[in-house]
Amino acid sequence: MKIVADTNIPFLKGVLEPFAEVIYLDGRAIDREAMLDADAIIIRTRTKCNADTLAGTRVQMIASATIGTDHIDLPWCAARGIEVRNAEGCNAGGVADYVFSALYGTASRHSIKLNGATIGIVGVGHVGKIVERMARSLGFRVLLNDPPRAAREGDAAFVGLDQLLAESQVITLHVPLDSTTRGMASEAFFEKMRPGAIFINAARGEVVDESALLHACPKLGALVLDTWCNEPDVNPNLIEVCDVATPHIAGYSYQGKQNGTAMAVQAVARHFGIEALLDFAPQTENEALKPVSVNLQGKTQGEIAAILQYNYPIFTDDFLFRSNPGSFERIRSEYNYRREFYID
* Residues annotated catalytic, as ranges: 204, 231, 248
Distances in whole angstroms, Cα of residue 105 to Cα of each of 98, 113, 195, 240: 10, 12, 19, 17
Strand order in the sheet with 141-145: 141-145, 118-122, 170-173, 198-201, 222-225, 244-245
At 315, which helix (H) or strand (E)?
helix 314-323
At 97, which helix (H) or strand (E)?
helix 92-110
Taking each continuous run of H as one helix and of E as one strand, the counts in the chain are 14, 13
Contact 26, 47 (CB under 8 A): no
Distances in whole angstroms, Cα of residue 257 to Cα of each of 186, 283, 340: 32, 11, 11
Distance between CA atoms of residues 286 and 241, nearest Å: 38
Contact 159, 132 (CB under 8 A): no
342: left (phi over 0), alpha (psi -120 to 50) or beta: beta
The size of the chain, in residues, is 344
